Amino acid sequence: MNRTIYKNSLFIMIKNLIYGIAGSALIGLILSWFFDGYIPYLGGGAVLLFTVYYVFFQDNLRLVLTDDELIVDRFGRKNLVYVRDECSFASKIVRTVDSTLIPDSDCSLTITDADGKVKRINCSNLGGRRFRRFIGDLGLLEPQESVLEATKKEK
């Protein structure tokens, strides 16, 4: 029995953590304009703690693909189990390229089970390359992909 496990990309986790650190510093700075003492530190610290919790625990995705099943684990628990023969799958990748030239991929998997219930799973934390490998192993040939390019307004 083949069993393949797909986990979050470490690069994406670190990137989200850096964004969270920058956001907590910004919140602390903004709060320091209005409050004295420890309130700015508490506000920034709360945002930082939430970010660490979200990046490492809440948004921790693990997909286990076997010959018969797709198991979706979130927060370290087996949340969803799908029998592959009884479900249909669709994938979508939206790639954004902005002026920093660092591409970002928004990856999603849509699962329709035997009862007709539709579940959309955000797989962006896997990263584009790992998600493409996953959907290839799942049996989807080509994801529906679109590219959004951010542009600046010229004055």
124 near 106, Cβ under 8 Å? yes
Instruction: Return the half-sphere exposure (C-beta side, CA atoms, 13 A cut-off) of residue 73.
Output: 14
* 75-111 confidence digits (pLDDT tens): 766 678 888 888 888 888 887 766 565 667 788 888 8
Dig out the tokens for 151 from the structure. 């542009």
Please tell me the pTM assigned to this model.
0.72
Q: Domains of the chain by range and CATH? A: 3-149 (2.30.29.30)
CB count in 10 Å sphere of residue 155: 3
* 38-87 confidence digits (pLDDT tens): 888 999 999 999 988 888 877 788 888 888 888 888 776 667 888 888 88
